[in-house]
Structure 1
Amino acid sequence: MLNGGSSSGKSSIARCLQNLLPGAWLTFGADTLVDAMPARLRAGGEGIGFDSGGAVVTGDEFRRLDHAWAQGVAAVVRAGVPVVVDEVFLGGPRSQARWRDALTGLEVLWVAVRCDPDIAAAREAARGDRETGMARLQAELVHRGVEYDLEVDTGGSGAEECARTIAARVTG
């Protein structure tokens, strides 16, 4: 379980892990769920949207889908397929508790993917596909109150190096 703010490098690490870990690992991320939702739910209201400062705002229907999605990812793992989850714990410990409940009885490595807010904001600007301000806002917010087994920092290390650190824990 990779948790970090927008543009922190989670998706890049997940792709590297697929190459480093033995067997076939699937990756699912917060963007996987959002991309699968009907367009009308990606415009705020009952779905997911953004305020003028880049903060993510979610409605009841998004939360219902998000809960079901976590259960579905857990079902994939229970079916014997290893998964790397690329997540953004907007609710901090509440988000982690939701995933802990979904993943009950499964072996999970909880990984903080940290990135300096200035570096994340620069990545966000270069990408051009994120709400301005989201990366800076989430850089520390998503980690408050969350418990981890391992932390990596993509501001000081590349995705490949971070993935090697994580893979060593998974296979060690």
Structure 2
Amino acid sequence: MAIQVIVVNGGSSSGKSGLVRCLQAILPEPWLSVGVDTFVDALPPALSGSGDGIAFGADGEVNLGDEYVRLEEAWRSGVAAMARTGALVIIDDAFLSGGESQARLRRNLDGLEVLWVGVRCDGRIAAGREIARGDRTVGMAILQADAVHVGVDYDIEVDTTDMGSIQCATLVAAHLAGLGLQPR
């Protein structure tokens, strides 16, 4: 079995992006990184803060409109197409609807070999990172810390509360090595 896609799911400021960068550094093949933040940044300004696009509430809630959902489906299909044509892809995501979000992505990735990675982090620690980042709505980290994992099945989970990105990436790489993929 050759893993073609690694899906990394965790709440805001949980350490997903750092984990992904470390995986790219230690895995033997080149892996493309695509993330929900990249998708959100690609949206036209008219869909930011709108009821039909994506809107961030004052307490950190994220509201997704119909046009956002439609475009996200197209984006995910495109990411799956890259994997189907030979690119190794790491998806950095936050499953706002927990298991329902995973089910939608599973449909897009049908037929591909996928490793599902859960990134956990104590909500208070993630909230501190959120403040330090300065580019997130305060409250997102606390709201998402547990909610993004509800009903989601993983092949491996890591916890960045007390472990650094490279330590977590090493655990994921070791799991992949057990599947026949060796880190650099």
How does the TM-score come out when normalised to structure 1? 0.98
Amino acid across the alignment from 1:133: G
Q: 1:139 is matched with which residue?
A: 145
Secondary structure (helix, strand or coil) at the match of 1:110 reads strand
Aligned length: 172
Distance 2:48 2:166 in 1: 32
Percent of aligned positions with the same letter in both sequences? 57
Task: Please tell me whether residue 2 in structure 1 is matched to residue 2 in structure 2.
Answer: no
Q: Tell me which amino acid in the other structure corresponds to 1:5.
A: G
Letter of the 1:85 counterpart:
I
SS in structure 1 opposite 2:114?
A: coil
Matched, 1:159 2:162: no
Matching residue of 1:100: 106
Task: Tell me which amino acid in the other structure corresponds to 1:90.
Answer: L
- Say which of 71, 81, 84 aligns to 1:78: 84
Unpaired runs of 5+ in structure 2?
1-6, 179-184
Match of 1:120 in 2: 126
Q: Which amino acid aligns with 2:37?
A: D
Give, in angstroms, the shift of residue 73 of structure 1.
Answer: 0.6
1:50 corresponding residue in structure 2: 56
SS of alignment partner, residue 147 of structure 1:
coil
Which runs of 5 or more residues in structure 1 are unaligned?
none
Query: SS where residue 33 of structure 2 aligns?
Result: strand
**Distance across 1 between alignment mates of 2:113 and 2:22:** 20
> Deviations 1:55-84 (Å, cap 9, x if unpaired)?
000100000011111111100100111011
Q: Secondary structure at the match of 1:104?
A: coil
SS of 2:124 mapped into structure 1: helix
> How many angstroms apart in 1 are the aligned matches of 2:89 and 2:115?
11
Whole-Å separation in 1 of the counterparts to 2:121 and 2:112: 28
CA contact (8 A) 1:44 1:57 kept: no
CA distance in 2, matches of 1:42, 1:84: 25
Aligned alpha-carbon RMSD (Å): 0.7
1:99-135: CA deviation from partner (whole Å, max 9, x where unpaired):
1101111111111100000000000000000001000
Moved over 6 A (4+): none
SS in 1 for 2:63: strand
- Determine which of 110, 113, 127 is the counterpart of 2:116: 110
Cα distance, 1:44 vs structure 2: 2.4
**Residue matched to 2:68:** 62
